[in-house]
């Protein structure tokens, strides 16, 4: 693998890890890069899970050490998310590659609209207005969030933040920590499914993970100290470039 591709993977992973920990959507940078360097869409989708797994190990450890996350009590919504993620991953490994690429492009446009509409501001306004005790409806919601995350990781952080804050009453810092914990656990299962079906490039995934882990460490500390209000602007610029590339504007 050429040195400039290695640097691109690490640099993109650093940005993606930071963004993923603070808000969500960092995979919108990493997934297209994996495709750009030549990985088929389905392999890129699976390879990304290596970086997500290692990134979230770092994030969970950091949040736990800073006493923001208590794994003994913050696990209640993991089970429906795991079940959904397994089903989503099983569907993802069977989908046609050309169709998956179109799905990715469409989802990116949707995520772009979410970023432009400032979802984090909307979420903040609802903090503390609902009960933290899980209900049947919350379990159903997190099953479908897991289903999406298992199918394609990109942008699931936005959905988890909305579910945790609007549906469970967490503040944003706590929601970020629990979000990272949920993704870590279900990624163990989804990565296994992608590996079993031969849709993971171990080398590219590990190189990307180097950056993701560094970004996760920085992102967790930054989140604890006040959030990531500038992340949205980074995502807007990156998404414009990525969407144009996916639709062939850059040839």
Residue 163 lies in a domain: yes
How crowded is the C-beta side of 173, counted as CA atoms within 13 Å? 15
DSSP code of residue 79: H
Domain that holds residue 234: 3-246
Express each pLDDT in 58-75 by its tens digit: 999 999 998 888 887 778
Average pLDDT, the chain: 84
Q: Return the minimum-mean-pLDDT range out of 28-32, 96-100, 247-251.
A: 247-251
Over the stretch 166-199, which tens digit does the pLDDT of each residue have? 777 777 778 888 999 999 999 999 999 999 999 9
The answer to whether residue 152 scores a pLDDT higher than 70 is yes
* Residue with tokens 């492009």, as numbered in its chain: 105
Is 131 or 107 the better-scoring residue by pLDDT?
Answer: 107
Question: Residue range 77-100: average pLDDT?
Answer: 90
| pLDDT > 90: percent of the chain | 45
Q: 99 pLDDT exceeds 50?
A: yes
Q: Count other C-beta atoms under 10 Å from residue 109's C-beta.
A: 12
Instruction: Output the six-digit token pair for 121.
Output: 């501001």
pLDDT 10s digits, 115-133? 677 655 555 555 555 555 7
Report pLDDT for 194: 97
Residue 124 is predicted with a pLDDT of: 58
Largest CA distance in the chain: 52
For 199-226, how does the pLDDT look when each residue is reduced to its tens digit (9 = 90+)?
A: 999 999 999 999 999 999 998 887 766 5
Q: Please count the structural domains in the chain.
A: 1
Residue 251 within a domain:
no
The reported pLDDT for the residue numbered 209 is 97
Residue 246: pLDDT over 70: no
Q: Answer positive or negative: Cα dihedral of 22, 23, 27, 30.
A: negative
**Alpha-carbon distance 174 to 243, whole Å?**
31
Distance CA 35, CA 8 (A): 13
On whether residue 148 sits in a domain, the answer given is: yes
Please list, residue by residue across 152-183, b when 16 or more beta carbons sit within 10 angstroms of its beta carbon and e when fewer do.
bbbbbbbbbbbbbbbbbbbebbbbbbbbbbbb
Residue 105 in any domain: the answer is yes
HSE-CB at 115 with a 13 A cutoff on CA atoms is 29
Neighbour-count burial of 119, counting CB atoms closer than 10 A to its CB (0-12 exposed, 13-18 middle, 19+ buried): buried
pLDDT at 219: 84
pLDDT for the residue numbered 228:
46
3-state secondary structure of 200: coil
């Amino acid at each position: 693998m050429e040195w400039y591709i290695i640097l691109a993977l690490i640099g993109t992973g650093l940005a993606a890890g930071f963004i993923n920990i603070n808000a969500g959507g960092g995979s919108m940078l990493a997934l297209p890069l994996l495709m750009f360097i030549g990985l088929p869409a389905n392999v890129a989708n699976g390879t990304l899970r290596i970086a997500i797994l290692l990134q979230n190990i770092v994030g969970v450890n950091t949040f736990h050490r800073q006493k923001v996350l208590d794994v003994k009590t913050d696990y209640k919504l993991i089970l429906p998310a795991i079940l959904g993620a397994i089903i989503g991953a099983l569907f993802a490994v069977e989908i046609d590659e050309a169709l998956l690429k179109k799905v990715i492009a469409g989802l990116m446009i949707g995520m772009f609209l979410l970023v432009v509409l400032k979802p984090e501001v909307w979420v903040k306004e609802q903090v503390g207005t609902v009960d933290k005790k899980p209900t049947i409806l919350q379990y159903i919601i997190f099953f479908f969030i897991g289903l999406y995350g298992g199918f394609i990781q990109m942008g699931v952080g936005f959905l988890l933040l909305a579910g945790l804050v609007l549906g469970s009453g967490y503040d944003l810092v706590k929601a970020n920590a629990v979000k990272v914990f949920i993704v870590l656990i279900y990624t163990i299962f989804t990565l296994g499914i992608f590996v079993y079906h031969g849709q993971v490039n171990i080398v590219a995934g590990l190189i990307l993970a180097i950056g993701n882990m560094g970004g996760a460490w920085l992102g967790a500390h930054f989140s604890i100290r006040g959030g990531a209000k500038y992340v949205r602007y980074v995502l807007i610029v990156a998404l414009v470039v990525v969407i144009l590339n996916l639709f062939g504007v850059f040839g």
